[in-house]
């Protein structure tokens, strides 16, 4: 519990890799998933996309876009959500939540790009979008914003590795100072770019009104994606915190532990309001687009499941949990919201996409596609663990205490 | 520069721009980007099509596509609903209208303002002045957003290709058009079901056929306006008296709900909001930051004032108490009390 238990790398002992070689079940599972993932990676890049996926001409975007990209980006919204709350809105008691949130956001976006390389036919040509900019394309905007935001996140995150390495390489302190001074500008940059690309992920589907079921297609899809990303951001901070408390509790300092519960309750309250707003937006949109008849169909039932059990229910649970200051309810609501976001993105990109086609032509991801998605998530967790074991993310570095 | 001179320049600039607008109008009629007046198209008359698959065969040959598993002479493949793919740029499907078999050829519609071109973020697709929508694979990233965007499910992707997978679709035989030849499929059609010509003429031809054969055709040229208009258009047989006007199109698997504007325009509102957000968000959040900072400053000042007041009150209380003690117990006792009280207050302050 106390500060002295935390292993802080020193000038002479920069690395703390012992945790990875412990004979624990987690490490074993990680090793197996990474090994399987590497094998599939080799197959994917030597035999082609068709060799490992169920993608087809009617379903060119499957699991890798629907989960790794759409869910990955929205679930990494915790970065902008927390920094805006702490630095812009002045909620200083979120401070200990900022670094973990920025770290996971940075990792999330990095691995979104990594996963995207699997899905692209010509992964090495990704920079072509800057050489031959197709400015009429929503995807161009997404790419531009994600690339810029990833840079912003890298700069924001870089403070942690700087503090880790500063003992050995003192010149890094100048960079750290510069970044800390630019915090507000970076935060505003971040929220602007996040607004743009979170919403643009919804705009991607605006061009395909005939393919997406009317209950999900709406001219307001950009807004839905953005608003739900806020709820996703708040929920992911709680959700990740839940696992962090289980796995890397011994890297949290007193400040972090003291503020952790308050962060959960504050974020729960915010998420509750946002989810209610999102529910009303979706419901009103359904009514004004005269989609009520669709609600009484098979897809309508599925839409109701999403709306009631994955939007309204977590909203109510969050409200109850934050008012009663009940950590368990809040955490359940967070998991519920995260699942809801995943369900919504799956609906838009796969389940309600191509709804009019006969079921024989519909898509279901192959085992290998799912394996790669699991592989990517495992890489994120492993990278997160490496960072937490080495850098001051869950604790304040003694050399930089109150230096912000 | 004086005012008169400035106005002269402005005026002449106006005239020049008006002239150039007039020129564009004379050349292009109503301007819808990047619609080319005088561009070519093909009219597919499904009442003439017999499903012989000669067009498929010719397409395969002129484009040097790989041989299919079943030969083109095998007409049973028409029984299953097919779509175009990376290696079959055109396919013929069988439908039933009014109890009769009707065949429809599928290929890229070569939209006037194509969804694929609007969606491509590396500018691979181009609407050419001759009417074709061409694709340059040399800068294709392989993201397949064009395939999401295409309302006609036309482009296919080479999923089996490991190192250079590309999107493939009908090219309108653009290289052949340049040589002055007809597209392969049009040339091969034995029933004259495919008519090549200028798009504007084809619409007149279609109307003329309808007028000449009352009751034979559905009163709808598919592609005249759909998705903003397409170079390849379709005539369908009349659906029968009971059916809805667009029922004939739906019977042939044609989507009549695409609207009459280019698909790309559906995204322009969202894209147009981008500069607005870029311009306004920093102000909004900068303002929020300023407000929260100001609030903190006010809070801090108020806190300090309150503390000062309390301190004054306390000092006053201590002094008056000490004064009373001095009166009853003497000066030494008063000093002890004063010391003890200020010590107690200090302690309290230390805990906070």
- Same-domain pairing of B341 and B230: no
CA torsion, ordered B9, B14, B17, B20, to nearest 10 deg: -110
For residue A22, how many other CB atoms are within 10 A of its CB? 8
Distance separating alpha carbons of residues B192 and B44, to the nearest angstrom: 9
pLDDT over 60 at B17, yes or no: no
- Is residue B13, in this structure, part of any structural domain at all? no
Q: Which of B235, B251, B272 is the last residue of a domain?
A: B272
Mutate to test the interface with B, among A51, A92, A122, A152 (most CBs of B within 10 A): A122
Subunit contact A195:B281, Cβ cutoff 8 A = yes
User: pLDDT for B220-260, tens place per residue?
Assistant: 999 999 999 999 999 999 887 666 767 889 889 999 999 99
Tokens of A101: 């949130």
Subunit contact A120:B141, Cβ cutoff 8 A = yes
Tokens of A123: 């992964």
User: pLDDT for A138-185, tens place per residue?
Assistant: 999 999 999 999 999 999 999 999 999 988 888 888 989 999 999 999
Find how far residue A260's CA is from the centre of its chain: 20
Question: In chain B, whose CA is at the least distance from the CA of A141?
Answer: B271
- Same-domain pairing of B120 and B228: yes
- Is residue B182, in this structure, part of any structural domain at all? yes
Q: Per-residue confidence at B30, pLDDT binned at 50, 70, 90?
A: very low
Distance separating alpha carbons of residues A273 and A41, to the nearest angstrom: 42
Distance separating alpha carbons of residues A166 and A71, to the nearest angstrom: 35
Tokens of B91: 């396919």
Could you tell me if A207 and B119 are in contact, meaning their C-beta atoms sit under 8 angstroms apart?
Answer: yes
- Same-domain pairing of B221 and B116: yes
Adjacent-strand bridge partners of A111: none
Question: In chain B, whose CA is at the least distance from the CA of A84?
Answer: B285
Subunit contact B159:A138, Cβ cutoff 8 A = no
- Is residue B3, in this structure, part of any structural domain at all? no
Question: pTM, whole model, 2 decimals?
Answer: 0.89
Q: A82: distance to nearest CA of chain B, Å?
A: 14
CA torsion, ordered B183, B184, B185, B187, to nearest 10 deg: 80
Q: What is the pLDDT of residue B34?
A: 58
- Is residue B22, in this structure, part of any structural domain at all? no
Find how far residue B28's CA is from the centre of its chain: 25
Pick from A188, A200, A207: which is nearest to B286 by CB? Answer: A188
**The CATH number of the domain where B133 resides is what?**
3.30.70.20
At how many degrees (to 10) do helices A95-119 and A138-157 cross?
A: 140
Distance separating alpha carbons of residues A194 and A203, to the nearest angstrom: 14
Mutate to test the interface with A, among B87, B146, B253, B271 (most CBs of A within 10 A): B271
Q: Which of B272, B293, B318 is the last residue of a domain?
A: B272
- Same-domain pairing of B129 and B236: yes
Burial (CB < 10 A; 0-12, 13-18, 19+), residue A239, is buried
Could you tell me if A271 and A81 are in contact, meaning their C-beta atoms sit under 8 angstroms apart?
Answer: no
Find how far residue A4's CA is from the centre of its chain: 32
Q: What is the pLDDT of residue B148?
A: 96
Burial (CB < 10 A; 0-12, 13-18, 19+), residue A79, is buried
- Same-domain pairing of B45 and B168: yes
**In Å, how far are B41, B195, B252 from B205, measured between CA atoms?**
12, 9, 21
Mean pLDDT score of chain B, rounded to an integer? 87
Q: Which of B272, B287, B321 is the last residue of a domain?
A: B272
Q: Which residues of A touch B257 (CB under 8 A)?
A: 209-210
Distance separating alpha carbons of residues B124 and B114, to the nearest angstrom: 12
- Same-domain pairing of B266 and B289: no
- Same-domain pairing of B193 and B327: no
Q: Map residue A393 onto helix, strand or coil.
A: coil
Nearest to A340 by CA among A374, A368, A311, A361: A311
Q: What is the pLDDT of residue B339?
A: 86
Give the 3-state DSSP-derived string for chain B, with helices as H, strands as E and coil as C: CCHHHHHHHHHHHHHHHHHHHHHHHHHHCCCCCCCCCCCEEEEEECCCCCCCCHHHHHHHHHCCCCCCCCCCCCHHHHHCCCCCCCCCCCEEEEEEECCEEEEEEECCCCECCCHHHHHCCCCCEEECCCCCEEECHHHCCCCCHHHHHCCCCCCEECCCCCCCCCEECCCCCHHHHHCCCCCHHHHHCCCCCEEEEEHHHHHHHHHHHHHHCCCCEEEEEECCCHHHCECEEEEEECCCCCCCCCHHHHHCCCCCCCCCCCCCHHHHHHHHHHHHHHHHHHHHHHHHHHHHHHHHHHHHHHHHHHHHHHHHHHHHHHHHHHHHHHHHHCHHHHHHHHHHHHHHHHHHHHHC
Nearest to B232 by CA among B204, B197, B258: B197
Distance separating alpha carbons of residues A72 and A64, to the nearest angstrom: 10
Subunit contact A129:B122, Cβ cutoff 8 A = yes
- Same-domain pairing of B240 and B326: no
Q: What is the pLDDT of residue B236?
A: 94
Instruction: Return phi, psi of residue A391, to 5°.
Output: -115, 155
The total domain count for chain B is: 2
pLDDT over 70 at B8, yes or no: no
Q: Which residues of B touch A184 (CB under 8 A)?
A: 289
- Same-domain pairing of B189 and B237: yes
- Same-domain pairing of B342 and B251: no
Nearest to B256 by CA among B268, B243, B267: B243
Computed over its alpha carbons, how large is the radius of gyration of chain A? Answer: 22
Pick from A47, A125, A134: which is nearest to B123 by CB? Answer: A134
Instruction: Return phi, psi of residue B7, to 5°.
Output: -65, -35
Q: What is the pLDDT of residue B25?
A: 40
Low-confidence ranges of chain A (pLDDT < 50): 1-3, 404
Nearest to A374 by CA among A150, A115, A198: A115
Domain that holds residue B60: 31-272
User: pLDDT for A366-398, tens place per residue?
Assistant: 999 999 999 999 999 999 999 999 999 998 888
Tokens of B235: 């005539």
Mutate to test the interface with B, among A126, A134, A356 (most CBs of B within 10 A): A134
Q: What is the pLDDT of residue A58?
A: 95
Q: What is the pLDDT of residue B205?
A: 96
Q: Looking at residues B146-158, what average pLDDT do you find?
A: 96
Q: Looking at residues B56-66, what average pLDDT do you find?
A: 95
Pick from A139, A184, A210: which is nearest to B143 by CB? Answer: A139
Q: Per-residue confidence at B27, pLDDT binned at 50, 70, 90?
A: very low
CA torsion, ordered B274, B277, B282, B283, to nearest 10 deg: 140
Q: What is the pLDDT of residue B16?
A: 43
Could you tell me if B118 and B144 are in contact, meaning their C-beta atoms sit under 8 angstroms apart?
Answer: no
Distance separating alpha carbons of residues A200 and A206, to the nearest angstrom: 10
Subunit contact A208:B148, Cβ cutoff 8 A = yes
Q: What is the pLDDT of residue B245?
A: 65
Domain boundaries along the sequence of chain A:
18-396
Distance separating alpha carbons of residues B153 and B115, to the nearest angstrom: 11
Does B258 lie at the interface with A, CB-CB under 8 angstroms? yes
Find how far residue A98's CA is from the centre of its chain: 15
Q: What is the pLDDT of residue B53?
A: 94
**In Å, how far are A48, A221, A223, A276 from A285, measured between CA atoms?**
41, 10, 11, 14
């Amino acid at each position: 519990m106390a500060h002295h238990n935390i292993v802080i790398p020193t000038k002479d002992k920069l690395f703390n890799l012992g945790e990875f070689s412990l004979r624990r079940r987690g490490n074993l599972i990680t090793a197996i998933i990474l090994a399987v993932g590497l094998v599939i990676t080799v197959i994917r890049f030597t035999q082609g996309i068709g060799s490992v996926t169920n993608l087809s001409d009617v379903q060119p975007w499957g699991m890798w876009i629907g989960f790794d990209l759409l869910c990955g980006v929205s679930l990494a919204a915790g970065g902008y959500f927390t920094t805006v709350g702490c630095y812009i809105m002045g909620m200083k008691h979120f401070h200990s939540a900022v670094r973990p949130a920025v770290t996971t956001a940075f990792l999330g976006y990095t691995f979104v790009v990594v996963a995207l390389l699997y899905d692209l036919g010509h992964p090495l040509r990704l920079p072509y979008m800057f050489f031959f900019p197709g400015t009429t394309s929503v995807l161009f905007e997404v790419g531009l914003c994600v690339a810029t935001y990833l840079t912003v996140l890298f700069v924001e995150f870089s403070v942690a590795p700087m503090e880790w390495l500063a003992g050995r390489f003192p010149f890094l302190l100048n960079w750290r100072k510069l970044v800390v001074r630019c915090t507000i500008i970076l935060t505003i940059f971040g929220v602007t770019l996040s607004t743009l690309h979170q919403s643009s992920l919804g705009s991607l589907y605006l061009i395909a009104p005939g393919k997406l079921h009317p209950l999900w297609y709406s001219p307001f899809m950009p807004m839905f994606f953005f608003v739900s990303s806020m709820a996703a951001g708040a929920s992911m901070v709680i959700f990740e915190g839940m696992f962090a408390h289980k796995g890397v509790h011994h890297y949290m300092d007193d400040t972090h532990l003291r503020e952790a519960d308050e962060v959960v309750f504050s974020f729960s309250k915010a998420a509750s309001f946002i989810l209610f707003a999102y529910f009303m937006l979706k419901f009103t949109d359904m009514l004004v687009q005269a989609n009520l008849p669709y609600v009484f169909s098979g897809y309508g039932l599925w839409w109701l499941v999403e709306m009631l059990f994955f939007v309204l229910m977590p909203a109510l649970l969050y409200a109850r949990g934050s008012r009663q200051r009940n950590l368990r309810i809040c955490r359940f609501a967070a998991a519920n919201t995260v699942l809801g976001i995943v369900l919504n993105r799956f609906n838009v990109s796969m389940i309600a996409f191509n709804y009019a086609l006969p079921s024989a032509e519909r898509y279901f991801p192959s085992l290998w596609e799912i394996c790669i998605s699991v592989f990517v998530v495992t890489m994120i967790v492993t990278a997160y663990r490496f960072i937490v074991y080495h850098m001051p993310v869950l604790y304040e570095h003694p050399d930089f205490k109150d230096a912000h | 520069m004086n005012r008169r001179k400035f106005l002269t320049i402005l005026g002449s600039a106006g005239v020049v721009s008006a002239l150039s607008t007039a020129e564009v109008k004379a050349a292009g009629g109503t301007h819808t980007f990047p619609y080319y007046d005088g561009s070519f198209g093909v009219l597919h008359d499904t009442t003439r099509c017999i499903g012989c698959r000669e067009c498929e065969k010719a397409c395969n040959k002129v484009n040097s596509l790989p041989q299919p598993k079943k030969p083109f002479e095998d007409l049973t493949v028409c029984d299953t609903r097919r779509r175009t793919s990376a290696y079959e740029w055109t396919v013929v499907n069988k439908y039933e209208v009014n109890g009769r078999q009707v065949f429809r050829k599928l290929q890229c519609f070569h939209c006037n303002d194509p969804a694929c071109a609007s969606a491509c973020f590396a500018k691979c697709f181009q609407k050419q002045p001759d009417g074709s929508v061409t694709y340059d694979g040399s800068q294709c990233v392989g993201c397949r957003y064009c395939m999401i965007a295409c309302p006609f499910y036309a482009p296919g992707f080479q999923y089996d290709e490991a190192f250079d997978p590309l999107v493939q679709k009908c090219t309108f035989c653009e290289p052949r058009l340049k040589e002055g030849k007809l597209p392969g499929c049009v040339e091969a059609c034995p029933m004259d079901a495919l008519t090549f010509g200028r798009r504007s003429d084809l619409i007149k031809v279609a109307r003329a056929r309808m007028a000449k054969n009352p009751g034979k055709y559905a009163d709808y040229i598919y592609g005249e306006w759909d998705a903003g208009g397409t170079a390849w258009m379709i005539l369908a047989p009349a659906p029968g008296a009971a059916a809805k006007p667009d029922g004939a199109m739906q019977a042939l698997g044609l989507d009549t709900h695409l609207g009459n504007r280019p698909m790309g325009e559906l995204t322009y509102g969202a894209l147009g909001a981008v500069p607005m957000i870029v311009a306004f968000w920093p102000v909004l959040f900068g303002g929020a930051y300023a407000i929260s900072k100001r609030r903190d400053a006010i809070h801090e000042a108020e806190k300090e004032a309150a503390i000062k007041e309390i301190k004054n009150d306390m000092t006053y209380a201590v002094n008056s108490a000490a004064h009373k003690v001095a009166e009853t117990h003497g000066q030494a006792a008063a000093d002890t009390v004063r010391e003890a009280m200020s010590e107690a207050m200090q302690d309290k302050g230390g805990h906070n």
